[in-house]
Amino acid sequence: MSRGISGNYKQHMDKPWLGEWDLPEKDDMVVEIDYVDKEDVKSDQGTESKMTIHLKGGLKPMICNITNGDSISAALGTPLVENWAGRKIQLYRESVRAFGKTTMAIRVRPFPPKEEVYTCMDCGCTITQVAQFSPRTIAERSQAAYGRVLCMDCSKKAKEAQEAAEKEGDILGDESNED
C-alpha cells in the first residue's frame, strides 16, 4: 500500500514552471491561455528573459520555446501573442533530444484541440479539466470506481458515501475486516 504523496517526484519539487511531469502520462491535456508575458527565468546558464504562457485553471505557467511557439501559432491561426488569450491549446509529452541527452518535454499540438464533452450523471454539469486530470480521465476513473460518469466534486461525494457505507457495515469496528 502506498502512503503519503504519489505521482512523478518532480511534481513535488516546487518548480515554478509547468513541466512534462505535470502532464498526464498518456493523455493530451487541453488548456486555456490566460495571458502571455515575458519574464526573467533562472537556469544553469544564468538568468534569461523568456516568453511565458500563463494558463487558466490554477496551472503553473509554461516557458515557451520556439518549437512550442510555432505550434501554438499554427493551432490558433495567428503568430500575434495578443490574440492568444482565452484560446485553448493541446499539450502532450514527447521524448526529445536536448543538451546531449534524451529527455521528456512539453509539446503543443499544431492544431486546435477537439474537445470531448462529458456530463456528470449526478449533478448534470459539464466535466472540466482539474489540474492535470482531463475530462476524459475524470469520466473514465469515476465510471470504473462508481459505475457512472461523475465530475470531480460528485466523485468525492461518491467516495465519501462509499467509505461511510463500508464503515457502517463493519459491525466489529475492525477496518481491516480480516477473518
Q: Are residues 45 and 73 in the same domain?
A: yes
Q: Which of 60-64, 119-123, 132-136 is least confident? A: 132-136
Q: Which of 81, 108, 135 is the last residue of a domain?
A: 108
Residue 150 belongs to some domain of the structure:
yes
- Higher-pLDDT residue of 3 and 118 is 118
Report pLDDT for 5: 58
Report pLDDT for 14: 64
Q: Which of 108, 124, 147 is the last residue of a domain?
A: 108
pLDDT tens per residue, range 149-176: 999 999 999 999 988 888 887 655 555 5
The residue behind cell 505550434 is 71
Q: Which of 90, 108, 126 is the last residue of a domain?
A: 108
Cell of 171: 459491525
Residue 2 belongs to some domain of the structure:
no
Residue 179 belongs to some domain of the structure:
no
Which long-range contacts does 40-45 make (Cβ < 8 Å, 24+ apart)? 41/17
pLDDT tens per residue, range 5-19: 566 555 555 678 999
Residue 138 belongs to some domain of the structure:
yes
Q: Are residues 42 and 98 in the same domain?
A: yes
Q: E strand or H helix at 159, and its extent?
A: helix 152-168
Q: Are residues 25 and 104 in the same domain?
A: yes
Report CA 175 to chain centroid distance, whole Å: 33
Residue 116 CA to residue 174 CA, distance in Å, equals 43
Report pLDDT for 43: 79
pLDDT tens per residue, range 72-100: 999 999 999 999 999 999 999 999 988 78
The residue range of the domain holding 36 is 13-108
pLDDT tens per residue, range 14-42: 678 999 988 888 888 989 999 999 999 98
Please give the model's pTM, rounded to 2 decimal places: 0.62
Q: Are residues 89 and 130 in the same domain?
A: no
Q: Are residues 77 and 46 in the same domain?
A: yes
Phi-psi region of 135 (alpha: psi -120 to 50; beta: other; left: phi over 0): alpha
The number of folded domains in the chain is: 2
